[in-house]
Amino acid sequence: MLRYKTREWLPEFTKNILRQIFVSSSKSATGRIKNQPPLRGVRVIELAGLAPAPFCGLILADFGASVTRIVKPNEDALIEDCLTRGKRTIEVDLKTQQGIETVSNLCFNADILIDPYRPGVLEKLGLGSSKLLRNNGRLIIARITGYGQTGPLAQSAGHDINYVAMSGLLPTISQNRQQPFPPANLLADFAGGGLSAAFGILLAIFEREKSNKGQVIDVSMTEGLAYLGSFVNLTRHWQSFWDRDIGVFSGNYPVYRTYKAADGKFLAVGALENKFQENLFKGLKLPITSSDVENRPEYVSDLLEKEFMQKARDEWMEIFKDCDACVSPVLEMDEVGEHHHHIFRANFTFD
């Protein structure tokens, strides 16, 4: 049963957009996966929650799993409702015994349960992992939280910015600026949480083929992100990478940064190797070399800033289209589907 209820205070335009999202999100993406989707036959129960849990369910659904999403009765529309593509949604009241029995029965025949709640919530509902595993020994329970199932912070509230902060990566991501800034909510919610959970589930499915047993996956968004940042952590003392003024990933390195074009749009330059730098300077018709990048980086940045302002972004892309200079257009979201490479590969669809 697919139902939605928009909040009364939402403008009519926003309500229409939400309705379009609900319609489009009910369409399966597996049709874009050639042959048979790899997770066909895998049955997933997703308890509706914030960003990481529905994204994890979305990944599984996109690759062929049968995902049933459980929501509260008559619940208002949520932002995460845009992540329901390929899922079926049912309403279950977890405050009633009948609702608990419904979820328990669903888990009896399921392969995976995605738990978005704080530690102990399922236990209080009478749906603890030990009980569910007694009923279905092959069940895989992915429990996604900010700080993990145990420890002093296990019950603490938080959002993406808190988990990124606790991972140790926020100052580096912010180029060690005096006041670190959050990189939207992509890293902890979707990479450290949803994607890590999906990967953990696949590992558990693989292991289950050998042991014939399910298991509980303790997904900490903080730890998932810290693991994702292994390279950053292991190279944090390399000043050539992370120096706040002119390091390669500082945003100021002349051949690894963005530049504004004459039309106000931007280009991304990633010419780290000498051969790419030579092609870059040749395309720009600038009399500089790779040695200038190392010895006079500010001077090179100034030259490139002025030169890129002489033409529009797409004019520059025409110049560099057959040249290995590691130059790319910075695409807006509404431009992505129009790029010839994405069109060729059918990477994006428009609803």
Cα separation of 94 and 106, whole Å?
13
Q: How far is CA 96 from CA 34, 67, 82, 126, in A?
A: 43, 23, 28, 11
Query: What are the residues whose beta carbons fall under 8 Å from the beta carbon of 316, sequence distance 6 or more?
Result: 261, 267, 308, 327
Of 134, 115, 98, 131, residue with least CA distance to 54: 115
Cα separation of 182 and 225, whole Å?
14
Residue 44 C-beta-side C-alpha neighbours within 13 Å: 33
Three-state DSSP class for 72?
Answer: coil
Q: Is position 189 annotated as part of the catalytic site?
A: yes
Q: How far is CA 331 from CA 54, 186, 263, 268, 317, in A?
A: 26, 18, 13, 10, 12
**Is 172 within 8 Å of 232 (Cβ atoms)?**
yes
Token output for 342: 């994405």
Catalytic entry in 160, 189, 322, 351? 189
β-bridge partners, 114: 46, 142
| Residues tagged active-site | 189
